[in-house]
Structure 1
Amino acid sequence: MTGVPNLRSLLRTTVIPLALLLCTPLWSASPPSNTRDASSAIQRPLLTGYFPQWGLYNQPQYTVKNLLTIGGASVLDQMNYAQAFVTGGRCSIADPNADLNYTFPAEQSVDGVADKPDQIFRGNLNQLVKLKRKLPNLKLIISLEGRAASFAEDAQPQNRAAFVESCIDLFLKGNLAPGIQAAGLFDGIDIDWEYPHREDAENYLALLSEFRKKMDALRPGLLLNVAVGPSPRMYPGTDMAAVSKLVDQVGLMTYDFNGPWSATTGFIAPLRAREGQEGGTVEHTVQSYITAGVPASKLLVGLPFYGYGWHKVTEDNNGLFQEGQSIHGDRPYRSIVDIIEQSTVYRDELSQAPWIFDGDVFWTYEDPTSIRQKSEYIHQQHLGGFMIWELGEDTSTGLLLHAAHTSLTHPSVDTAQQTSSPTPTATK
């Protein structure tokens, strides 16, 4: 992913009785909304989003309570918790302070009950326990992040079984730490291996097979998902059709098609290509994976809640596809909304992708109009839904999240009119 202290980036209560936790799951599992059987048509596209573990350190802070307060948790079908680490041949808690130790005051707690300093189980994961009790049908998935070299080592035949067992014991059996047990908190595992080399292809498939076997044995209905790059060619030698038979969802990282690594402005995540455009598109990525044998119903279109910018951009073509000096890093959509008011909004007729340009500074991002266009494409192609990176970068009211939900569940509703999104003052 991007813009966070996360290995996806190439640049980003009440005390629970221990005896109860040790003996029974916190809730009964409900059937998955999408199965591995490609012939099983999904009722409607899914809305999934990554929740940032590091939101506690953001300014302003972003917590599970924030997501619940704006109604965001109730419109999600699935929330991927980013992140767990893959290090030293095992899965591990990536940030013990954020996950287990942070003491939430009452105003930041999902149930309005403050954590006690001597409480054994605190942090984000305890907040997720409380969220799960409020919304038992919301799927919670743990996202495994690790360096490619770590995954490659862990997937070796001599290491594979022990590695997989460690992940299942920690997150699916819920043995989070000594004295802390939360069986049933997570409904599955999301694997983000960026990226297996050709010599890893066989082990990549074998690793997924090991996860699938042990997860099915533990509890039927657990979800095994993968996040993948924007082209199957990034997985040389990997049989994507075989991968798709093992996993429930294939999350496409259909963003970062252009950004600060380029000296030329462009779109971060265009649906379709227009003349003069460099880089990939959502449409090309989707069709490439379908050609590679992945059922359309398992493909989730990645949706960025952030944007990229350049300055000292020439005024030709209103700044689009022009040379400029890149602005380091990304900006969350909540910040770009403020910039929009001082700039002119333009829109690509083909993909409805927006950009803003003030004669010097250029920004590329997503907005409710471009999200609606992608939602229409998802419905037309019978795709699995949206995968958002990441929820904490939205506005304080969840403008983009609610636009995505409305466009998926009510295709006939104009999401641009349903939100307070700024109306483009110019169109291209």
Structure 2
Amino acid sequence: MLAAVAIPLAAMVGLASPAQAAGATATYQKASDWGTGFEGRWTVKNTGTAALDSWSITWDFPAGTSVTSAWDADVTNSGTTWTARNKSYNGRLAPGASVTFGFNGSGSGGGDVTDCTLNGDPCDGGGVPGDNAPSAPGTPSAGTVTDTSVALSWTAATDDHGIKNYDVYRGSSKVATVTGTQYTDTGLTAGSTYTYSVRARDTADQVGPASGSRTVTTTGGGGPGGDKIKLGYFTEWGVYDRNYHAKNLDTSGSAAKLTHINYAFGNVQNGRCTMGDSFAAIDKNYTAAQSVDGVGDTWDQPLRGNFNQLLKLKKKHPHLKILWSFGGWTWSGGFGQAMQNPAAFAQSCYDLVYDSRWAGLFDGIDLDWEYPNACGLSCDSSGPAVMKDMMQAFRAKFGDKLLTAAITADAGDGGKIDKADYAGAAQYVDWYNVMTYDFFGAWDAQGPTAPHSPLTSYNGIPIPAFNSDSAIQKLKGMGIPAQKLLLGIGFYGRGWTGVTQSEPGGSATGPAPGKYEQGIDDYKELKSRCPATGTVAGTAYAHCGQQWWSYDTPQTIAGKMTYANNQNLGGAFIWEMSGDTANGELMTAVHNGLG
């Protein structure tokens, strides 16, 4: 008996030949055998350059062999043909990622897997002995690009027996099979970004590796966004004292003018991404009057809170993209520990961002580490390479999803920009949110008074390099493309009290009172309580009584947007949306200024 069992076990504990399926492999292993039954395991790996959205393996077992239970996959059969499909939580595989599921079976022939397919392609690659798979085609080039179409062409793949056709992929979805080396993708959305790759298939139906990827943005888009990014941070805690909700983005008109929203913030704890305030995010009940679509929450619905309201906002404004931002000033302390294992860190964030409970909400992730290899609320000493290493790990995991970062604007010699490899990391990010605000404030309680977000330097500025233009020029000088830089705009002001001088540079006795916190207040509060009395370095300031404030107005924002356009920046972002007026006058200035 032992000898009889040992022979098939020894033959089958080894891995079977990989199954090729459009850049994915499926490998079977008979992990154990107890005579009347066995444990089998399949591993699916994405070996391509585009993410897989789902996977399905079909194979044949000999008569009398069956699956009795399975985990991490749904397994069904029709006679001797068995099919395993992914669960909701493990179907998406980024390039290089893999997933393993297992099952218990009955019958001694469980290792004899035949006629296997992975996502409909032959498990054995459909090869003929001595026939090699085709090479990768050339990276597609974009020819004519319109509002709704992209013309692609590529150099031919090679094969020892000839090329049959090419599969064209938009992201992870195959959109066409063509016999030539050209294809025009139609029916697209104006002002939207798409990523393409191509695979060759030979006369034996073997599929070769994917070409390089080409990302193309369609023209137009006019209304929301045009060619410029207009991003606003929406804070999780704003639903409390500030009474600012997703519905306010809609009723103010801002949702129609924004292209992207960053939801702030998720936390970074114990080496992984975690939720911040789960009550505000997924549990808070919204009445019909408070809800984006006028439909109130019910006690038994699976998702409530900000996440459900933002899903409704996306449904009403389909052009909007939403990213989940992690970290921020208060929650940056966990990044250093997390980066001791970058791949595990990225995996934890991916699993949380794309949790099935809020499927369809997030289009990517924003990482707000204040500051890598430098000091913020706490200090980090991970080394200058940590920024590049982090973004590389996240790009590998998130594939073609949006990946952005909020970064310092400290352009001083030896300042925070010099502390980390932001230039090396730039190749992996879609854009940087350059925090060109909070240069000066009442943490220097005695002053001198200075605008917290100067666009340029000026005579008497306390630290010459602390201005927006210095930061932008330094980052561009490091080789970071201008289109990957967004100018930061604060929808709030910073102020001092005990000030007698109207112009910048006066002395003070401490921070001015604010509605929620000393030394800071929203634009919507300040515009009437302490109206602007002058401008300096492209921003406004106000002296009222003994208080001195600086903040941006619609007029100064217009000037900053002109600067962003002249510098060919990717656009602008706002910290944060609740500071605007009920009719969104600052957001309107951003929108009109960027065009």
TM-score (norm 2): 0.58
Name the counterpart of 2:563.
377
CA contact (8 A) 1:79 1:138 kept: yes
* C-alpha spacing 1:148/1:235, structure 2 compared with 1 (3 Å): farther
CA contact (8 A) 2:409 2:417 kept: no
Pick aligned residue for 2:362 from 153, 164, 186: 186
Name the counterpart of 1:365.
551
Q: How does 1:27-106 map to 2 (within 5 A)?
A: 33=193, 44-59=227-242, 61-106=243-288
Mapped partners of 2:391, 2:538: distance in 1: 37
Amino acid in structure 1 at the alignment position of 2:227? R
Deviations 1:15-54 (A, max 9, x none): xxxxxx95999xx997855999899899632111100111
Mapped partners of 1:330, 1:91: distance in 2: 29
Shift of 1:213: 0.7
Mapped partners of 2:342, 2:275: distance in 1: 19
* C-alpha spacing 1:288/1:40, structure 2 compared with 1 (3 Å): farther
Pick aligned residue for 1:389 from 545, 555, 575: 575
Mapped partners of 1:234, 1:168: distance in 2: 28
Name the counterpart of 1:226.
405
Amino acid in structure 2 at the alignment position of 1:63? H
* C-alpha spacing 1:239/1:32, structure 2 compared with 1 (3 Å): farther
Deviations 1:95-143 (A, max 9, x none): 0110011000001111110001222210000111111222222110110
Name the counterpart of 2:355.
174
Which has a greater percent of helix? Answer: 1
Mapped partners of 2:442, 2:216: distance in 1: 41
Aligned length: 368
Q: Does the residue aligned with 1:286 lie in a helix, a strand or coil? A: helix
Determine whether 1:347 maps to 2:542. no
Q: Does the residue aligned with 1:363 lie in a helix, a strand or coil? A: strand
Pick aligned residue for 1:203 from 386, 389, 394: 386
Deviations 1:221-270 (A, max 9, x none): x1100100113631545332211101001110000111111221111101
Mapped partners of 1:378, 1:41: distance in 2: 21
CA contact (8 A) 2:485 2:570 kept: yes
Name the counterpart of 1:3.
none
Mapped partners of 2:194, 2:255: distance in 1: 19
Mapped partners of 2:349, 2:548: distance in 1: 43
Deviations 1:305-336 (A, max 9, x none): 11011122123xx2421101222231011110
CA contact (8 A) 1:142 1:189 kept: yes
TM-score (norm 1): 0.80
Q: Does the residue aligned with 2:289 lie in a helix, a strand or coil? A: helix
CA contact (8 A) 1:201 1:235 kept: no
Amino acid in structure 1 at the alignment position of 2:334? S
Which has a greater percent of strand? Answer: 2
Q: How does 1:114-153 map to 2 (within 5 A)?
A: 114-145=296-327, 147-153=331-337
Greater RCO structure (CA 8 Å; 6+ sep): 1
Deviates more, 1:118-127 or 1:191-200: 191-200
* C-alpha spacing 1:355/1:211, structure 2 compared with 1 (3 Å): same
CA contact (8 A) 1:174 1:185 kept: no
Mapped partners of 2:351, 2:292: distance in 1: 26
Amino acid in structure 2 at the alignment position of 1:199? S
Mapped partners of 2:431, 2:305: distance in 1: 28
* C-alpha spacing 1:38/1:367, structure 2 compared with 1 (3 Å): farther
CA contact (8 A) 2:448 2:462 kept: no
Deviations 1:390-422 (A, max 9, x none): 00111111111111111111xxxxxxxxxxxxx
Mapped partners of 2:194, 2:365: distance in 1: 14
CA contact (8 A) 1:257 1:269 kept: yes
Deviations 1:341-360 (A, max 9, x none): xx562123xx3321111352
Name the counterpart of 1:425.
none
CA contact (8 A) 1:240 1:293 kept: no
CA contact (8 A) 1:202 1:238 kept: yes
* C-alpha spacing 1:87/1:186, structure 2 compared with 1 (3 Å): same
Pick aligned residue for 1:335 from 514, 525, 529: 525
Shift of 1:338: 2.2
* C-alpha spacing 1:134/1:62, structure 2 compared with 1 (3 Å): same
Mapped partners of 2:266, 2:556: distance in 1: 31
Q: How does 1:268-307 map to 2 (within 5 A)?
A: 268-279=452-463, 280-307=466-493
Amino acid in structure 2 at the alignment position of 1:293? G
CA contact (8 A) 2:395 2:403 kept: yes
Mapped partners of 2:194, 2:503: distance in 1: 42
* C-alpha spacing 1:407/1:40, structure 2 compared with 1 (3 Å): same
Pick aligned residue for 2:343 from 161, 166, 171: 161
Shift of 1:148: 4.0
* C-alpha spacing 1:92/1:274, structure 2 compared with 1 (3 Å): same
What percentage of aligned pairs have identical amino acids? 36
Q: Does the residue aligned with 2:451 lie in a helix, a strand or coil? A: coil
Amino acid in structure 2 at the alignment position of 1:339? R
